[in-house]
Structure 1
């Protein structure tokens, strides 16, 4: 279905410039002189790049049909991850480069939403926060509070998170998957 610049809205996925893009934000501009246009920020769902694009009246593009499938992460294999569709029990191997940032917070058995364009995997959507065990950090300081500058800690997935000084090895923490920040103890 062809859509024009007036049909843009946040969250819409479109086919533009030989790729799949999600509209992050947009602004209709009507200058005092001349035709109206739309300034937009688009995120490339294949590469993760964010571009600013200006659309003029008459610009047409197709809406991309994106599907999201609930899947369970099973295990790592040959430079990829094996997932099982929780509805059909079909297993698929997704290359690590398609999962990008999600790899930092994924544990075996975790439920994730896999975003697909036809049969092409675009990425994984994790829960907003996950519980991860701290496997390496400096010893905690007695009497430390959460307002300090923090220290680096390596969690069981291999990601490095900045945690408060009172967090010790072996503790389970809650991590925000959007920005990788410490949310609290589990």
Structure 2
């Protein structure tokens, strides 16, 4: 399916220069002189290369439709991750670097969606939000309430996030997996 260069969104899989690319970040720019464009940061799903490309509204790219299948994450085995097909219970082993930074958010038994291209897994989609525990949080600095007083904290998976001042160590929170941002305190 052809889409305009300015309709590209993070998470889209596009065909560009005879390769499959996953869009990581986008930035819409309207310079004072000239036409608007979309600055797109993307990663090649086959060999892992990253690139930045500018797409104008007149440019069109092929958005690739991938087959999706639900899997359950079982365990890590060295630099590989083992998943189980929810329908036929077959196990599949994938390289951990296929997930990139999101690998830290994998939890035992987590339900994930594998995206397949010609029956070959090329991408793993985690849930958008997960629950994690704060293991370390900086103390609140008195009188710092005038600014947007978020403070750094470290989750039980080692990821560093910014949290509101009332969140302390031992608190369970909901975190956005892809932006690595605090969403809310867990119930």
TM over 0.5: yes
Contact 1:139–1:169, Cα closer than 8 Å, also in 2: no
- Shift in CA distance, 150/15, structure 1 to aligned 2, threshold 3 Å: closer
Q: 1:119: Cα distance to partner?
A: 4.3
CA-to-aligned-CA distance 1:72-128 (integer Å, 9 cap, x gap): 111111112111111221111111111113213221111111222224432221222
* Structure 1 residue aligned with 2:31: none
**What are the within-5 Å matches in structure 2 for residues 73-92 of structure 1?**
73-92=73-92
Contact 2:84–2:90, Cα closer than 8 Å, also in 1: yes
Gaps of 5+ in 2: 27-36
- Shift in CA distance, 13/165, structure 1 to aligned 2, threshold 3 Å: closer
* Structure 2 residue aligned with 1:8: 3
Contact 1:144–1:166, Cα closer than 8 Å, also in 2: no
Tell me the secondary structure at the aligned position of residue 122 of structure 1: strand
* Structure 2 residue aligned with 1:68: 68
Contact 1:113–1:125, Cα closer than 8 Å, also in 2: yes
State the aligned residue count.
Answer: 168
Contact 1:134–1:154, Cα closer than 8 Å, also in 2: yes
Q: 1:15: Cα distance to partner?
A: 3.4
Tell me the secondary structure at the aligned position of residue 174 of structure 1: strand
**What are the within-5 Å matches in structure 2 for residues 111-126 of structure 1?**
111-126=111-126
Gaps of 5+ in 1: 26-37
- Root-mean-square deviation (CA, aligned residues, Å) is 3.7
- Shift in CA distance, 83/143, structure 1 to aligned 2, threshold 3 Å: farther
Q: 1:161: Cα distance to partner?
A: 0.9
Taking structure 2 as the reference length, the TM-score comes to: 0.70
| Separation in structure 2 between the aligned mates of residue 135 and residue 165 of structure 1, nearest angstrom | 15
- Shift in CA distance, 67/166, structure 1 to aligned 2, threshold 3 Å: same
**What are the within-5 Å matches in structure 2 for residues 42-57 of structure 1?**
43-46=42-45, 47=48, 49-53=51-55
| Separation in structure 2 between the aligned mates of residue 112 and residue 87 of structure 1, nearest angstrom | 13
Taking structure 1 as the reference length, the TM-score comes to: 0.70
- Shift in CA distance, 142/41, structure 1 to aligned 2, threshold 3 Å: closer
Tell me the secondary structure at the aligned position of residue 54 of structure 2: strand
* Structure 2 residue aligned with 1:31: none
